[in-house]
C-alpha cells in the first residue's frame, strides 16, 4: 500500500500504521470523520466521498484549512520560495548548497547551524503578529526541531531550529496533500471532538476514526487527558454505537509498566485488533513492547 505522508509531519502520527489500520475500515464511506485529526495521516490515506477533519488545537486545524485554501502546488511553492528567500532560510529543495566549511565544522548539525539566525527572526516575527500567518507558521514547523508544534504559557511558539530543511520529502508531502484535497470534498473544524458533528446530521455510511490522546503514554497533546476524559470518550463512542454509526479508534493497552485498565474493561464488548507497534518514545529503553491496538464496533 502506497502511503502518503502528511505535510504536517505530526509528532506521533499514524503514517507508519496506515497499512495496518486502513484495511479494517468499511469499504464504502460517505463521510469520513476524524475528530482528533492532528496531521491527518489516516484521513489522507482513507478513500471516502467526503471528509470532516477536526482538532481543538486551532494551529493544527488552521494549518489544514490554510492548505485547503491553496489553489495548486506550483502557486503555493512560489509563495513558499518567496518567503524562504525573504527570511534568508536555505532549502535543499530550492537548490541551496551547504557550504563545505559548515559541513566540516558541524558534520551532523549543519542544517540547524545554517538556518538558526533566519529561523529565530521568523519565529520572532510570527510571535509579534496578532493575526497568525499560516505560511510563516508552516515554515516554522518545517524548519523546527522534530517538526514539533509547541507554545509556551504566554502563547509564544517556542520550538528551536531543527536539523532539517525544506527538502524533496517536504515538497512531495505538500504536493500529495494538495492533490488529495483537489479531488475531495473536505471540511475543517476547530473544537472539541464532540462538537465536530451532530449525530442527527450524519449521512448514511458515515464513519468515525479517532486517534485521541493516550491515557498512559506521554506526548505533548496527552497532558490534558485523564481518566474522566477517557470515560467521557467511551460514553461518546457508546452514543455513536447506539445510533448505529460505525467507528474505530487507535490506542495503547499497555505501555512500559502501565496498563489502561479502563480501556481493557470497556473494550471487551468490542473488536480489538492488535497492531505491530511503532510507538517509540524517548523514555523507552526498548525492553518492553507497548501493545498498540485498533478498537472497532463492527465485524
Ligand X SMILES: C[S@@+](CC[C@H](N)C(=O)[O-])C[C@H]1O[C@@H](n2cnc3c(N)ncnc32)[C@H](O)[C@@H]1O
Binding residues for ligand X, rule: CB under 6 A, are 6, 10, 12-14, 35-36, 38-42, 55-57, 60, 192-193, 211, 213, 221
Judge whether 149 and 141 are in contact, CB under 8 Å: yes
Nearest residue to 137 (alpha-carbon basis) of 157, 152, 117, 118: 157
- In the complex with ligand X, the residue whose CB is nearer, 59 or 175, is 59
Task: In whole angstroms, give the CA distance from residue 180 to residue 195.
Answer: 25
Minimum distance from CB of 186 to ligand X (Å)? 15
Task: In whole angstroms, give the CA distance from residue 72 to residue 93.
Answer: 18
The residue number with the shortest CB distance to ligand X is 38
How far is C-alpha 293 from the chain's CA centre?
18
Judge whether 66 and 136 are in contact, CB under 8 Å: no
Minimum distance from CB of 191 to ligand X (Å)? 7
- In the complex with ligand X, the residue whose CB is nearer, 94 or 273, is 273
Minimum distance from CB of 14 to ligand X (Å)? 4
- In the complex with ligand X, the residue whose CB is nearer, 133 or 220, is 220
Minimum distance from CB of 106 to ligand X (Å)? 31
Task: In whole angstroms, give the CA distance from residue 144 to residue 110.
Answer: 14
- In the complex with ligand X, the residue whose CB is nearer, 96 or 220, is 220
Minimum distance from CB of 105 to ligand X (Å)? 36
- In the complex with ligand X, the residue whose CB is nearer, 166 or 210, is 210
Encode 38-73: b = buried (16+ Cβ within 10 Å), e = exposed: bbbbbbbbbebeebbbbbbbeebbbbbbbbbebeeb
Minimum distance from CB of 252 to ligand X (Å)? 11
- In the complex with ligand X, the residue whose CB is nearer, 35 or 162, is 35
Q: Within 13 Å of residue 129, how many CA atoms lie on the same side as its CB? A: 14
Amino acid at each position: 500500500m502506497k502511503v502518503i505522508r502528511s505535510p504536517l509531519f505530526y509528532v506521533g502520527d499514524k503514517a507508519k500504521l496506515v497499512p495496518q489500520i486502513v484495511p479494517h475500515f468499511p469499504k464504502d464511506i460517505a463521510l469520513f470523520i476524524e475528530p482528533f485529526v492532528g496531521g491527518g495521516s489516516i484521513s489522507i490515506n482513507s478513500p471516502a466521498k467526503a471528509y470532516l477533519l477536526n482538532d481543538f488545537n486551532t494551529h493544527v486545524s488552521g494549518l489544514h484549512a490554510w492548505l485547503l485554501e491553496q489553489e495548486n502546488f506550483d502557486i503555493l511553492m512560489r509563495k513558499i520560495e518567496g518567503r524562504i528567500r525573504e527570511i534568508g532560510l536555505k532549502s535543499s529543495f530550492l537548490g541551496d548548497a551547504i557550504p563545505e566549511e559548515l559541513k566540516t565544522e558541524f558534520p551532523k548539525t549543519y542544517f540547524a547551524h545554517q538556518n538558526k539566525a533566519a529561523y529565530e527572526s521568523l519565529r520572532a516575527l510570527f510571535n509579534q503578529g496578532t493575526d497568525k500567518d499560516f505560511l510563516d507558521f508552516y515554515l516554522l514547523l518545517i524548519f523546527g526541531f522534530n517538526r514539533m508544534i509547541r507554545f509556551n504559557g504566554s502563547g509564544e511558539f517556542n520550538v528551536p531550529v531543527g536539523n532539517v530543511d525544506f527538502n524533496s520529502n517536504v515538497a512531495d508531502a505538500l504536493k500529495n496533500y494538495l492533490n488529495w484535497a483537489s479531488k475531495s470534498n473536505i471540511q475543517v473544524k476547530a473544537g472539541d471532538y464532540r462538537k465536530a458533528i451532530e449525530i442527527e446530521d450524519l449521512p448514511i455510511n458515515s464513519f468515525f476514526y479517532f486517534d485521541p490522546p493516550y491515557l498512559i503514554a506521554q506526548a505533548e497533546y496527552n497532558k490534558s487527558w485523564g481518566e474522566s476524559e477517557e470515560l467521557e470518550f467511551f460514553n461518546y463512542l457508546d452514543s455513536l454505537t447506539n445510533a448505529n454509526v460505525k467507528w474505530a479508534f487507535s490506542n495503547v493497552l499497555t505501555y512500559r509498566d502501565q496498563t489502561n485498565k479502563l480501556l481493557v474493561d470497556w473494550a471487551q464488548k468490542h473488536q480489538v485488533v492488535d497492531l505491530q507497534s511503532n510507538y517509540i518514545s524517548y523514555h523507552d529503553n526498548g525492553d518492553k513492547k507497548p501493545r498498540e491496538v485498533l478498537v472497532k464496533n463492527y465485524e
